[in-house]
Amino acid sequence: MAYDEKLAGRVRAAVVHLPDLTEKKMFGGLAFLLDGRMFCGIIGDQLVVRVGPDRYEQALAEPHVRPMDFTGRPMRGYVYVGPAGARNRKAVEKWVTLAANFVSSSRSARRPRKLARRTRKQARTRKSGRILEAPTESLPGDRGDPDKNRQLALALICLGRFAEAEERLRVACDSTPRDPRTHTLLGVVLFRQRKIDEAEAELRKAVALQPDAVDARISLGNLLFLDQRVTEAETVLRGALESSPDRTDVVIDLARLLLETGRAHEALESIRAAQRRAPGDLPLQSALCAILNYLPDASAEELFREHARCNALVPPADANFSNVNTDPRRRLRIGYLSPNFSDHAVTYFFEPLLEQHDRAEFEIVCYHLGLPDHTVTPRLQRKADRWRSLVSSTNDAVLEAIRRDQVDILVDLAGHTRGCRLIVLARRAAPVQCTYIGYLNTVGIGAIDYRIVGERTDPPGAERLAVEQLVRLPKSFLCYRPRADSPDPADRTGRDPIVFGSLNNIAKLSAPTVEMWSELLHRVPTARLALMWTGLADRDHSARVAARFAAHGVAPERLRLSPRRDPPRHLEEYRQIDVALDPVPYNGVTTTCEALWMGVPVVTLEGDRHAGRVGGSLLSAVGLDDLVAGSRRDYVAIAAALADDPERLHALRSGLRGRMRQSRLCDSASLCRDLEAEYRRMWRTWCTRRNVPS
């Protein structure tokens, strides 16, 4: 008996957030299972729902519902919902939510001891995995029970339903007003809704209730930093570290703050000090690798050695994929793994590929490791064939979800950035694994087979700097999708003075960058320099930045330091900039694309590693090779010449957006075909090796 594929699609949409979900064809239909237990299914055009004995009679009273009698007699606890009762996603969600919550509660009731032994994180994972996108009133739990309200709030947070989580947590706070855990969680939820003052009040309340509550201090420090109050944030995080010097997460968060305020060497030393206390700690080594990319005195060879050390800190691969179909021509299942399927820079380069994939040849599964937002995440989710939300899942659960989906090629989009899952990759979640887009260096994990790069970013000889095999895409290795809400470029004809600018992370403001930009300002004595990034409204932070330029004879009044604004408002800054400057040794990527889209030419200096050559790759893709310098002297000369050429600046300002649209940098169809050809080649290689007799 065939099952209704349209109904199956509605069920899949309703259960998309379940990390423990599997599908299985049985009884001539399709069954959906949670941890191996069927909770709903499809037989023909009928939806099968497991409602449990307590809700059985109530369910039968609903329209279009009848007993399930597949065995010749009614199966108490299961019902059929006819086509009219499952005609749309909302109707299906109602029934599937009921079934999932029954399976969850019945399992918990049968195994209370085992549940009590779970770690808090595992319990969160399982709880969140069974709460669907359903109205709040359908969620289980006693509103008077603070523990249950906290657990449900955690589940709602994982689904991005922050307003509902806030409601639950406020109820819990009313019940237990002196519980710092609840105030901490409420503070996090309020911050996610941009209720900054309320969030800060809750987090400070948690710290007051329990001064040694490190989690509350970490959350407060991160809130203050993201609210651009750098000095306060640093004080809070240093206090957290003083009270808990062995907490790796505090060390890493403080190092991140130091890095993003231009103190990369301090950040590096803080990580190295922690490594002396905890040698062999993978998160610390991963953080060290990320920081080293910003240091001009770290050679490409040193970077490679430190990244390669990660391989000794991860568990070995523990899968052989002996049952995988080794047909090299079959349709492939591609999995994309990222914590940033939201309004994040990675999405600007990933979304156009997601749209262009040939679904006859490739099925696309997205594994989201981060919190969802309300705009970009749902949009990406609709464009994927399958979607797994795994934000609170353990590494074991993420690994099992990918293996259970039988992904053929897993593509990591994070590298050593925040939220990465290196252990999942190290244990080999898929037969073929590669890394792309999200990290501008080797990851260093031996189980990652390939790294997708460009011909210009990684010329011949770059293999010595990569643990993975390099796959060089022809033309451009990235495709940029500009924001639909981008403002128009501004006409700056005749406006004085000339303004150079950079919206790059201040972490990239290296000593050679400051020297080069200072030399340029001396070369063009009437020019100004505009910088925008997180925290530049903070007096101490902005004073440090100004002092670095003052050391090279640049007066403070020639600098315009502005705090970063949320997208798309940050793009308005380009309307006040004539020439954008790329930092060294770590070039901009998204910032370069945004500047070009806003009609602002970018000058870059080509370096000796991928992160220092990506600027040249992007400019080459839009036909601006003449803005790629081979030396610091050339860099200054090119930028000064642009400043002295108002006709060319006007032509670029008015025509660069159209030129970019027609360039390789925005040609998602061509790039995706090139990428798919490489995926197919990777798969053929794996099949060939697999089929060779041992």
Quick one: average pLDDT of 542-567?
A: 96
Share of the chain above pLDDT 90, in %: 72
Confidence of residue 33 (pLDDT cuts 50, 70, 90): confident
pLDDT in tens, 36-82: 778 888 888 889 999 888 888 888 888 888 888 654 566 778 888 98
Asked if residue 591 lies in contact with residue 504, where contact means CB atoms within 8 angstroms, the answer is yes
pLDDT at 121 over 80: no
Quick one: average pLDDT of 222-241?
A: 95
Look at residue 622 in the predicted model and tell me its pLDDT.
Answer: 97
pLDDT at 472 over 70: yes
DSSP secondary structure of 329-369? TSPEEEEEEES--SSSHHHHHHHHHHHH--TTTEEEEEEE-
Q: Residue 628: helix, strand or coil by DSSP?
A: strand
pLDDT in tens, 590-606: 999 999 999 999 999 99
pLDDT at 135 over 50: no
pLDDT at 212 over 90: no
Neighbours of 459 (CB within 10 A): 11
User: Exposure string (b/e) for 613-633, b if CB count within 10 Å is 16 or more?
Assistant: bbbbbbbbbbebeebbbeebe
Q: Which domains does the chain have, with CATH numbers?
A: 5-107 (3.90.1150.30), 293-479+678-694 (3.40.50.11380), 499-666 (3.40.50.2000)
pLDDT in tens, 402-456: 999 999 999 999 999 999 999 999 999 999 999 999 999 999 999 999 999 999 9
Quick one: average pLDDT of 599-622?
A: 97
Look at residue 693 in the predicted model and tell me its pLDDT.
Answer: 62
Q: Higher pLDDT residue, 149 or 425?
A: 425
pLDDT in tens, 334-376: 999 999 999 999 999 999 999 999 999 999 999 999 989 989 9
Look at residue 146 in the predicted model and tell me its pLDDT.
Answer: 85
Q: Distances in Å between the alpha carbon of 547 and those of 478, 558, 559?
A: 36, 12, 11
Quick one: average pLDDT of 506-511?
A: 97
Residues 6+ apart with CB under 8 A from 480: 348, 349, 352, 593, 597, 660, 665, 666
Q: Residue 105: helix, strand or coil by DSSP?
A: helix
